[in-house]
Chains A and B, each alone.
Chain A
Amino acid sequence: MSYRTRIALKVLVWGVCLAPLAPLVYRAWTDDLGANPISFVTNTLGDWTLRILLASLAMTPLRIVFGLSWPIALRRLLGLFAFAYVCLHFSVWIVLDFFFDWPRMWADIVKRPYITIGMLGLTALIPLAATSTTGMIRRLGARNWTRLHRLAYLAGVCGVLHYIWLAKVGVRDPYWYAAVLALLLGVRAWAWGRRAVRRRSAVAATSAPAGS
Chain B
Amino acid sequence: MLIRRAPRFTAGEITDPKVYLSRRELMAGAAALALMPLPGEAATPKGQPLSATRNAAFSLTEPATKIDHATTYNNFYEFGVNKDDPSRLAHTLRPRPWTVQVDGLVHKPKTFDIDELIRLFPLEERVYSLRCVEAWSMVIPWIGFPLASLLKRVEPTGQAKFVEFTTLLDPAQFPAQKPGFFGYSSLDWPYVEGLRLDEALHPLTLLTVGMYGQVLPNQNGAPVRMVVPWKYGFKSAKSIVRIRLVTEQPKTSWEKAASNEYGFYSNVNPAVSHPRWSQADERRIGEFRRRATLPFNGYADQVASLYTGMDLKKFY
B81 touches A168 (CB 8 A): yes
Complexed CA–CA distance, A113 and B276 (Å): 7
**A35/B69 contact (C-beta < 8 A), A168-B81, A170-B186, A172-B184 known:** yes
A170 touches B134 (CB 8 A): no
A112 touches B186 (CB 8 A): no
Interface residues on chain A, number (Cβ under 8 Å): 23
Please choose the segment from B26-34, B142-150, B283-291 that sits at the chain A interface, where 4 or more of its residues have CB less than 8 A away. Answer: B283-291
B276 touches A169 (CB 8 A): no
Complexed CA–CA distance, A169 and B70 (Å): 22
Q: Does A208 contact B (CB under 8 A)?
A: no
Complexed CA–CA distance, A38 and B68 (Å): 17
A166 touches B278 (CB 8 A): no
Q: Which of A39, A104, A165, A169 makes the CB contact (< 8 A) with B187?
A: A169
**Which residues, 55 to 72 on B, are CB-close (under 8 Å) to A?**
65-66, 68-70, 72
**A36/B283 contact (C-beta < 8 A), A169-B186, A170-B186, A170-B187 known:** yes
Q: List residues of chain B with CB within 8 A of the CB of A34.
A: 69, 72-73, 83-84
**Which residues, 171 to 213 on B, are CB-close (under 8 Å) to A?**
184, 186-187
**Which residues, 263 to 316 on B, are CB-close (under 8 Å) to A?**
273, 276-278, 281, 283, 285-286, 288-290
Q: List residues of chain A with CB within 8 A of the CB of B136.
A: 36, 39
Q: List residues of chain A with CB within 8 A of the CB of B286.
A: 35
**A169/B258 contact (C-beta < 8 A), A36-B283, A36-B285, A107-B278 known:** yes
Q: List residues of chain B with CB within 8 A of the CB of A168.
A: 81, 134
B276 touches A35 (CB 8 A): no
Complexed CA–CA distance, A56 and B250 (Å): 49
B277 touches A112 (CB 8 A): yes
Q: Does A114 contact B (CB under 8 A)?
A: yes
Complexed CA–CA distance, A65 and B290 (Å): 49
Q: List residues of chain A with CB within 8 A of the CB of B290.
A: 97-99
**Closest chain B residue to A171 by CB distance?**
B81
Complexed CA–CA distance, A168 and B276 (Å): 10
Q: List residues of chain A with CB within 8 A of the CB of B258.
A: 169
Nearest Cβ on chain A to B285's Cβ, whole angstroms: 5
Nearest Cβ on chain A to B75's Cβ, whole angstroms: 9
B285 touches A35 (CB 8 A): yes
**Closest chain A residue to B278 by CB distance?**
A108
**Closest chain B residue to A107 by CB distance?**
B278
Q: Mark A168-194, 1 if CB is under 8 A from B, else 0.
A: 111110000000000000000000000
Q: Mark A36-62, 1 if CB is under 8 A from B, else 0.
A: 101100000000000000000000000
Q: Does B77 contact A (CB under 8 A)?
A: yes
Q: List residues of chain B with CB within 8 A of the CB of A170.
A: 77, 81, 186-187, 257
Complexed CA–CA distance, A204 and B281 (Å): 65
Q: List residues of chain A with CB within 8 A of the CB of B83.
A: 34-36
**Which residues, 12 to 46 on A, are CB-close (under 8 Å) to B?**
34-36, 38-39
Nearest Cβ on chain A to B207's Cβ, whole angstroms: 25
**Closest chain A residue to B77 by CB distance?**
A170
Q: List residues of chain A with CB within 8 A of the CB of B283.
A: 36, 38-39
| Cβ-closest 5 pairs across A and B | A170-B186, A35-B73, A35-B69, A170-B81, A169-B257
A-B contact pairs, 22 of them (CB 8 A): A34-B69, A34-B72, A34-B84, A35-B66, A35-B69, A35-B73, A35-B83, A35-B285, A35-B286, A39-B136, A96-B288, A97-B290, A99-B289, A107-B278, A112-B277, A113-B276, A114-B276, A165-B276, A166-B276, A169-B261, A170-B257, A172-B184
A residues apposed to B, CB below 8 Å = 34-36, 38-39, 96-99, 104, 107-108, 111-114, 165-166, 168-172
B residues apposed to A, CB below 8 Å = 65-66, 68-70, 72-73, 77, 81, 83-84, 134, 136, 184, 186-187, 254, 257-258, 261, 273, 276-278, 281, 283, 285-286, 288-290
Identify 4 new A-B residue pairs, CB closer than 8 A, beyond the known A35-B72, A36-B283, A39-B136: A34-B84, A36-B136, A107-B278, A168-B81
